[in-house]
Amino acid sequence: MDKEINDLEVKRLALIASMEKTLANSELSEDEATASFDADMAQVKSIEAKMARLEKVKALKATKAVKEAEEDTDKEEEKDEASEELEKDDDDKEETMKSFHITKGYVPAGTEKGLYVQKMIARDIVKMHGETGARNILAVSTSKNYANGLIKSALTTSQPVVGPDVREFIDLLTADCVVRKVAKVVSMPNNNLTYPRQRLGATASWVGEGTNYVPSATDFDTINFVGKKLTGFTYTTLEFNNFSLQGAVEHITSDLANQVALAEDRTFIMGSTAGALAPAYSLVGNAGTNITSTGSDSVSIAADLAQIKSALQTKFVNISRGVVFGSPAIFNSLENLQTSFGVYPFREEIRMGILNGFTIMATAQIPTDIDTSAAKDGSAKNGSPLVFVAPQHLIIADAGQYALRSTDQGSWTDGGVQMNAFAQDLIAYKLANWVDFGVEHDAAVAVLNTVGWTNFNVDGAYQLVEAAKTGGSGASAVKGKSS
């Protein structure tokens, strides 16, 4: 009986160590960690209950040696009660058994995956207790024959002995969204919104005694916002949702939301070719000030930056919270621009995230290959806009919010191919919102059209599309593979 209690204590300590390992494993999701921890905790409680009963039986046996004649009947009743409690506990454990416990005839959803898990656990038990000890431990929870078969399969090289090591999902590389981070976002519940604006103020005059006041009149106009529908649509198969890596669906839908946000962002900055379907205002297309840089060295570039800043300030724009939108290539070139004396005049402030007092908001969606040739024949594609703004004057009007919707009904055409969700077991996801964009004062936006500031001349991009990898791993998790 002492050996049985000791074996139970060894199992209990191993489970506690497993629980500590689960808590320390940052690669597990919260749900996975909770499920594993709860399963181990249930086993620990069951083992502790068994140990308590065995200790009780052990004490009863010690008492029996002293009072054998007097307590024969009582001892039998106690033993029967202990036996019934053990059987009841085993029944309860069987009913509440989680998928990572090993019980006869029970495997998790997906038979092959379940067998992998069982064999991994069996192999670890063999490492800790040896082959014979592992058989005995597994036989307690299953049966002797099942334990023998499981141990054999776990130690046979022609069977899967190394589970596929699958790490976390790798996200798509995309550009940064910058405009919504700094703009003023307002609600547009009726899908249209009007701001009255004073465009002209009264004037004051010096006059002589007894002279009439000089009249002046103010003038008003309106800034109108009308919702433009921005949508995103993607789909997966039912099999992908059911059998792919855990969390993959969440990544697909979050990517959809990110792509919609990127489309919104580049429209706000560069404009759209969708015509009346998209917001009419864009920062580059409708800026109150446009200056083309003539700078080619640190002195002339500094003069251009001073000119664009002065253009905002002399129009009474408060730039205390000013930001500048631009391509990372432009900021990197300025950071490494040096004078003839080897001094880097812009490096320190750019590394602090600032350019000429404006907070840098870099996004690769702004191109650096705009045609700057006089004939617009593509002979000089080295232009890129730097957009300086006072963000308190930028307005994004939202008629709703981007709420994800999904369906397994309906049909659509993708690349000329007719798709049917119901017939093909497809799950479609879509996002939509009605948005418009504008500014309170055009003067709050100034664009410095740089020419030749960087040699890294590329089109604006919002995502990196990589070549598909088809290679497999060398793990021996393939049935029949011997090494």
Could you read off the pLDDT tens digit of each residue along the chain, which spans 483 residues? 677 777 777 787 887 777 777 766 767 676 776 777 778 788 878 888 787 877 777 777 766 655 665 556 555 565 565 556 555 555 544 444 443 333 434 444 344 445 555 555 666 666 566 666 766 776 666 666 666 665 655 555 444 444 445 566 777 888 889 999 999 999 999 999 999 999 999 999 999 999 999 999 999 999 999 999 999 999 999 888 887 776 778 888 889 999 999 999 999 999 998 999 999 999 999 999 999 997 889 999 999 999 999 999 999 999 999 999 999 999 999 999 999 899 999 999 999 999 999 999 999 999 999 999 888 888 889 999 999 999 999 999 999 888 889 999 999 999 899 999 999 999 999 999 999 999 999 999 999 999 999 999 999 999 988 888 766 655 444 444 343
pLDDT of residue 409: 93
Cα 83 from Cα 53, distance rounded (Å): 9
Q: Which residues contact 181 (CB under 8 A, 6 or more apart)?
A: 361
Residue 183: which of 325, 313, 329 has the closest Cα?
325
Beta carbons of 307 and 386 less than 8 angstroms apart? no
pLDDT of residue 319: 96
Residue 183: which of 310, 284, 321, 363 has the closest Cα?
321
Signed CA dihedral, 29, 30, 35, 37: sign only: positive
Cα 260 from Cα 400, distance rounded (Å): 14
Q: How far apart are the first and last CA of the chain?
A: 43
Count each helix (H run) and each strand (E run) in the chain, helices first. 12, 16
Beta carbons of 428 and 293 less than 8 angstroms apart? no
pLDDT of residue 42: 81
pLDDT of residue 7: 78
Beta carbons of 247 and 215 less than 8 angstroms apart? no
Residue 100: which of 6, 22, 9, 20 has the closest Cα?
22
User: Would you give the distance in Å from CA 210 to the centre of its chain?
Assistant: 73
Beta carbons of 286 and 431 less than 8 angstroms apart? no
Beta carbons of 331 and 360 less than 8 angstroms apart? yes
Cα 77 from Cα 85, distance rounded (Å): 12
Cα 293 from Cα 232, distance rounded (Å): 37
Cα 142 from Cα 106, distance rounded (Å): 10
Q: Residue 404 phi/psi, 5° resolution?
A: -75, 130
Count Cα atoms within 13 angstroms, Cβ side, for 171: 11
Tokens 């948005």 identify what position? 435
The string of DSSP letters for 82-136 reads HHHHHHHHHHHHHHT--TTS-BTTB--SSHHHHHHHHHHHHHHHHHHHHHHHHHH
pLDDT of residue 12: 78
